[in-house]
Amino acid sequence: MKVCFLIYPWDRIQPETDSTLRLIHEAARRGHTVAVTTVNSLTIRESVAHAFCNVLKKSDKISSSVPTFYRQAEFKRSKLPLAGFDVIIMRANPPLDTVALNFLDSVRNDVFIMNDLDGLRIANNKLYPASFSGEAARYIPVTHVSKSHDYLVQVLEESTTEKMIMKPLNGYGGQGVIVVEKRAQQNFRSLLDFYIGSGNGNYVILQEYVDGAEKGDVRILMLNGEPIGAMRRVPADNDVRSNIQAGGQEVKHALTKQEKALCRALGPQLVRDGLYFAGLDVIGGKLIEVNVLSPGGITRINRLNRTKLQTQVLDFIESVVSARELVAERKNSFRKVIEDAETL
């Protein structure tokens, strides 16, 4: 199998904790051809989409230690046609580069892309949970999104709770997440000036404060609509954010009955939208965010549970690629029968 990882720069990887590196290591360990590239390396030559890739040199012996594998990795630089890969695994950091998706649109019928391009377009923002309906909707906290100062002030004033969560629509990794208390409303307009800014302004989210948020959240990794691992992220002292990048600490977690029900309710839509590998952030049985571009947590969940989630992810990818190849072979065999009939 020929695999292309569309990632952040290789030299920015933190080998001790990086989830993408675990996937790359597993693909290399299985003997697949592995190439890594970035959104800035995509190019068009004679109307064909290419990428300047670093192709991992194959080795007879690959270290079982992922950090050692990272340090020993050797690459050959090549400009390669994207349609020649069996799978392109999207693992670039937010925010989503929509131009990069335009490059990939031209090869989507030739290559299995995970996650699906249309799924990334509709889900790579904090508005995506609002699209869930039916049974899934009961797991979504009340959310308001606007760039209107007056409207957001009104929302806070009319809230039946004493505090709400405010965050920028396009933030990630816990950036800009704060608790807004009704008793401190005199500072709220100043906060909105800062978050929304001037001119066209930025969208701001005001969300109901879910009980238990001060104790952290649960990161659930979903593969093909099913949970494969989870951890609880506990915020640092005097901080509402539980993201690891923001100083949170991971602890072992077993999914509750309510969390399992949430996964069952949300899983089918994730699959329909082509979001085969996603991270759910859950507080008190409520879905706070869906991470679809580069969901992390593999390394930490592995360590807490003595597992290797990357093996399940690669198993899934191999099964999809194999099924696509069988369909192509079947189609070609039928075409051959028709061509032979023309010569009779």
Encoded amino acid at 281, one letter: D
CA distances from 80 to 190, 210, 288 (A): 50, 48, 39
Instruction: Give dist(CA 168, CA 195) in Å, integer.
Output: 7
Give the pLDDT confidence score for residue 253 in this predicted structure. 96
pLDDT confidence band for 283 (50 / 70 / 90): very high
- Domain final residue pick, 114, 131, 154: 114
pLDDT, tens only, 233-269: 998 765 555 555 556 789 999 999 999 999 999 999 9
The answer, yes or no, to whether residue 32 has pLDDT greater than 70, is: yes
Domain membership of residue 127 (yes or no) is: no
Q: Which two tokens stand for residue 58?
A: 């194959």
- Regarding whether 259 and 222 lie in a shared domain, the answer is yes
- Regarding whether 102 and 45 lie in a shared domain, the answer is yes
Please give the angle made by the CA atoms of 234, 240 and 242, to the nearest 5 degrees.
Answer: 35
Domain membership of residue 89 (yes or no) is: yes
Which residue has 């879910």 as its token pair? 210
pLDDT, tens only, 43-79: 999 999 999 999 999 988 999 999 999 999 999 999 9
Decide if 103 contacts 6 (C-beta within 8 A): no
CA distances from 324 to 81, 157, 336 (A): 19, 54, 18
Q: How many domains does the chain have?
A: 3
Domain membership of residue 85 (yes or no) is: yes
- Regarding whether 303 and 235 lie in a shared domain, the answer is yes
- Regarding whether 195 and 148 lie in a shared domain, the answer is yes
Instruction: Give dist(CA 146, CA 149) in Å, integer.
Output: 8
* Burial per residue of 259-286, b for 16 or more beta-carbon CB atoms within 10 angstroms, e otherwise: beebbebbbebbbebbbbbbbbbbbbbb
| Residue 55 three-state SS | strand
Residues paired with residue 232 on neighbouring β-strands, in sequence order:
218, 251
- Regarding whether 155 and 94 lie in a shared domain, the answer is no
- Domain final residue pick, 159, 180, 208: 208
**Cα-flanking dihedrals φ and ψ of residue 15, to 5°?**
-60, -25
Nearest to 180 by CA among 190, 281, 218: 190
Which residue has 């899983």 as its token pair? 267
| Residue 133 three-state SS | coil
- Regarding whether 52 and 108 lie in a shared domain, the answer is yes
* CATH code of the domain in which 287 resides: 3.30.470.20
Check the CA dihedral 88-94-100-102 and report its sign: positive
Give the pLDDT confidence score for residue 344 in this predicted structure. 61
Which position has the higher pLDDT, 330 or 238?
330
Check the CA dihedral 226-305-93-41 and report its sign: negative
Decide if 53 contacts 80 (C-beta within 8 A): yes
Encoded amino acid at 104, one letter: L
Give the pLDDT confidence score for residue 201 in this predicted structure. 85
What domain range is 220 assigned to? 216-307
CA distances from 79 to 3, 37, 53, 76 (A): 14, 10, 6, 10
- Domain final residue pick, 189, 208, 227: 208
Question: Which of 117-126, 168-177, 294-303, 328-337 is the most confident on average?
Answer: 294-303
* CATH code of the domain in which 101 resides: 3.40.50.20
Peptide bond into 95 cis (omega under 30): yes
Give the pLDDT confidence score for residue 182 in this predicted structure. 86
- Regarding whether 24 and 106 lie in a shared domain, the answer is yes
Domain membership of residue 295 (yes or no) is: yes
* CATH code of the domain in which 165 resides: 3.30.1490.20
Average pLDDT score, the chain: 92
Q: What is the DSSP letter of 209?
A: P
- SS3 of 103-130: HHHCCCCCCEEECCHHHHHHHCCCCHHH
Cβ burial of 342 (10 Å; 0-12, 13-18, 19+) is exposed
Domain membership of residue 170 (yes or no) is: yes
- Regarding whether 186 and 243 lie in a shared domain, the answer is no
